[in-house]
Amino acid sequence: MSAMSDYLELKFLDHFTGTASTSAPSAVYLGLSTGSLADDNSGTELSGSNYTRKAITFASASSGSIANNSAVEFNSATGSWGTVSHFGIYDASSSGNLLFHGAFSASKAIASGDILKVASGSLTISAT
C-alpha cells in the first residue's frame, strides 16, 4: 500500500488547477523507516550507522500503478537499523519533501554488516 503525502496532494491540486506551476523533481530518493511516515511526514526516517537515501527510478505508470525499474541497494549498515518496515519517496537526497510513503510487504531486521536491497519491480506506488 502507498499514499501521497500531504505536501504532494497540495502540489498536485495547485498544479492541475492552474493555481501554481510546479515541475517534477529531477530525481527521487528512497528512504527507510521502522514505522509509518504518515501523510504529514511525522514518522521517523532512519539515521546514522551508514544509512543514506538512495536514488530510485520508475517505469511509466500503467493500470493505476508505477514500479521501480532498477534495483536499489543501500550501504552496508555499520550498526543496527532496527526492523525496516516502511518506505518514503522524497524529492531530495536529504531533507526535502516526502512525496509518497508506504509499507513493505515484509519487514526486515537490519544488523551491522547487512545490506538492504530492493529488487527491480518490487516497490509499487498505486493511485486509487
Domain count along the chain: 1
The CA distances from residue 53 to 37, 65, 68, 78, 121, in Å, are: 14, 22, 15, 15, 18
Collapsing DSSP to helix, strand or coil, 40 comes out as coil
pTM of the model: 0.92
Domain range for 50: 2-119
Asked whether residue 125 is assigned to any structural domain, the reply reads no
Q: What is the mean pLDDT of residues 44-49?
A: 97
pLDDT in tens, 52-109: 999 999 999 999 899 999 999 999 999 999 999 999 999 999 999 999 999 999 999 9
What confidence tier does 120 reach under pLDDT thresholds 50, 70, 90?
very high
Largest Cα separation within the chain, whole Å, is 49
Asked whether residue 105 is assigned to any structural domain, the reply reads yes
Asked whether residue 25 is assigned to any structural domain, the reply reads yes
Asked whether residue 56 is assigned to any structural domain, the reply reads yes
User: What pLDDT is recorded for position 16?
Assistant: 81
Asked whether residue 23 is assigned to any structural domain, the reply reads yes
